Amino acid sequence: MKILISDKLAQEGIDILKAVKEFQVDCKYGLKPDELKAIIKDYDALIIRSATTVTADIIEAAQKLKVIGRAGVGLDNVDLPAATKKGIVAMNTPAGNTTSTAEHTMSLILSLSRNIPQACASLKAGKWERSKFEGVELYGKTLGIIGLGRIGSTVSKMAKSFGMKILAYDPFLSMEVATKLGVEVVELKELFKTSDYITIHIPKSAETKHLISHKEFAMMKNTVRVINCARGGIIDEAALIDALKNKKIAGAALDVYETEPPDFNSPLLKFDHCVATPHLGASTTEAQVNVAIEIAESVRNAIQGKGIMNAANFPSVSAEAYKILEPYINLAERMGKFAGQLIQGRIKEINIVYGGTVTTHKVAPVTMSCVYGLLSPILGESVNFINAIDLARDRAIKVQEIHSSKEEEFVNLVSLEVITDKEAFHLWGTLSANNKPRIVKINNIYVEATPAGYMLFINNNDKPGIVGAVGTILAEGNINIGSISFGREKQGGLVISVVNVDSDVPDPVLEKLRKKKDVLFVKLIKV
């Protein structure tokens, strides 16, 4: 078995692989794309960090490749659809940099509070300006944490040791887990309004891009300090510049940026009350060793057939079983993503009921895929097929897989029920004759929708002209309709419409739809 390591990896990880007699480990750093493409055909596994980009062309050239291991959290430099199609497992190391990122967050909070970078620069310039750099204490202050996963939870424990009160926003965090952690769960608006410090620990996704912008800064105290060690783009940098310039907030500390490296002429790097570091969250000796060991062990076990851990694109099943279950895995993921973008409130329970001939198979991978799809709109790259169930349980979300012998209307049926603290949401899915996924019932209303690409989910009153009005508004916005499926609970009652469109729908077009008379709800969904 040949393993290629194309980015620098801590020696501890390399030693784990070299200890296996059957493995030939080659370390070839700094390969250009064409060079990697030329040699990848000879390797069974590839281990990378952030410097190597594994494109579809490189994957296509890989004749023996079984595993791609990323020593780090993100897999945005791997073409996951191409890897999946080729049958290559792509794995990452979600836990390796938890402590280092949490500690860096606390370092930025302290630096921002006590003006440490500015005071250091002043003293080295030959000045003694004690009064200029008067700071503030952490004790008794309120820290708002957005995202209470591994890193957010670790930050909360560290901050509590400073005597800080912890508020947390996490749509997937149960009250039971929050109580155990000693944090108070609040909605985002309350967190923005009451926090003295706000730190972000969520992945970047379509749902979280510019989560904090002009409107959110306007809600905050003018004494608040904002910290981001997660992903650039979650904070709208233009809005942050405005907030700092006009003293709407007391300060900010950034380790990540919308574009990296950032524009070195940006005002963010000129403000005295903005502390900036060059993406150092995982840059500790210990973190580099941890991710190297974690990915080496994962790749070794996967190649030796001892199990797949932290796979981002492949459920843990045999190749034969996967061929049978693949259409259902695809259906379940799409159902989960569809529901995950529509549900309101914190998830308490997920019930997946299987009916028809699908019940003759072991459907655990299908359940994993459904939960993955449901959690991914918020948790992003930190959730995958393998860890989705565990992440749900960590948040005290009950997951039930039920086989039904009841004769249903469909030969094969996957029924999803998501119970939150605000509602119970129901979704039925099945496969068409050519194994294509279909959504056939939303709550108590029958539809015939294709869960793919961009979709508009619309609730409206059953009145004449609504469908025409929707079509007109989309046409005016140069949005082409692929298909429309709608159903109603009764004549004159509530109507659900699912409109497949060929492209993204801009906010102004969505607002026009929402303002249309008798339109009750509009949501753009991407599956």
186 and 203 inside one domain: yes
Catalytic residue among 279, 361, 426, 488: 279
Annotated catalytic residue, options 22, 134, 260, 407 = 260
pLDDT at residue 17 in the model: 97
Beta bridge partners of 133: none
- Taking Cα atoms as reference points, which of 426, 409, 408, 429 lies closest to residue 417? 426
Q: What is the pLDDT of residue 412?
A: 87
Asked whether residue 213 falls in the same domain as residue 76, the answer is: no
The residues near 48 (Cβ < 8 Å, ≥ 6 apart) are 5, 6, 7, 54, 68, 69, 70, 71, 77, 78
Residues 270 and 124 in one domain: yes
Residue 340 maps to a domain: no
Q: Give the model confidence (pLDDT) of 171-190 as tens digits.
A: 888 788 888 899 999 999 99
Catalytic residue among 231, 346, 395, 438: 231
* Domain hosting residue 42, numbered range: 1-93+284-314
Q: Report the CATH number that the domain containing residue 88 is assigned in CATH.
A: 3.40.50.720
Q: From 292, 314, 336, give the residue that closes a domain.
A: 314
CA distance 200 to 458: 32
Task: Please compute, for residue 116, the number of CA atoms within 13 A of its CA located in the half-sphere on the CB side.
Answer: 10
Do 376 and 406 reside in the same domain of the chain?
yes
Asked whether residue 430 falls in the same domain as residue 474, the answer is yes
Would 41 be classed as within a structural domain? yes
Alpha carbons 291 and 312: distance in angstroms, whole number: 16
Nearest to 251 by CA among 260, 259, 241, 261: 241
Please check whether residues 200 and 119 belong to one and the same domain.
yes
Burial (CB < 10 A; 0-12, 13-18, 19+), residue 420, is middle
CB 335 within 8 A of CB 412: no
**Does 15 lie in the same domain as 134?**
no
How do residues 294-305 score in pLDDT, each as one tens digit? 999 999 988 887
If one compares 265 and 411, the residue with the highest pLDDT of the two is 265
How many folded domains does the chain comprise? 3
- Phi then psi for residue 399, to 5 deg, are -115, 120
Same domain, 83 and 116: no
Say yes or no: 111 and 18 in one domain: no
**Does pLDDT of 347 surpass 60?**
yes
Give the 3-state secondary structure of residue 215.
helix
In this structure, are strands 412-420 and 424-431 parallel, antiparallel, or unpaired?
antiparallel
Residues 197 and 48 in one domain: no
- Determine, yes or no, domain membership for 396: yes
- Residue type at position 92: N
How far, CA to CA in Å, does 83 sit from each of 6, 300, 314?
17, 18, 9
Tokens of 254: 């950034």
The string of pLDDT tens digits covering residues 398-422 is: 999 998 877 777 788 999 999 999 9
In a domain, 192, yes or no: yes
| Residue 11 domain flag | yes
CATH number, domain with residue 430: 3.30.70.260
Q: Which of 221-230, 310-319, 347-356, 407-416 is predicted least confidently?
A: 310-319
Q: Is 104 a catalytic residue?
A: no
Q: Which whole number is the average pLDDT over 59-73?
A: 92
Active site residue 260: yes
Residues in the chain: 527
* Whether residue 404 is found in the same domain as residue 502: yes
Q: Are 224 and 151 found together in one domain? A: yes
User: pTM score > 0.75 for this model?
Assistant: no
Question: Does residue 366 lie within any of the structural domains?
Answer: no
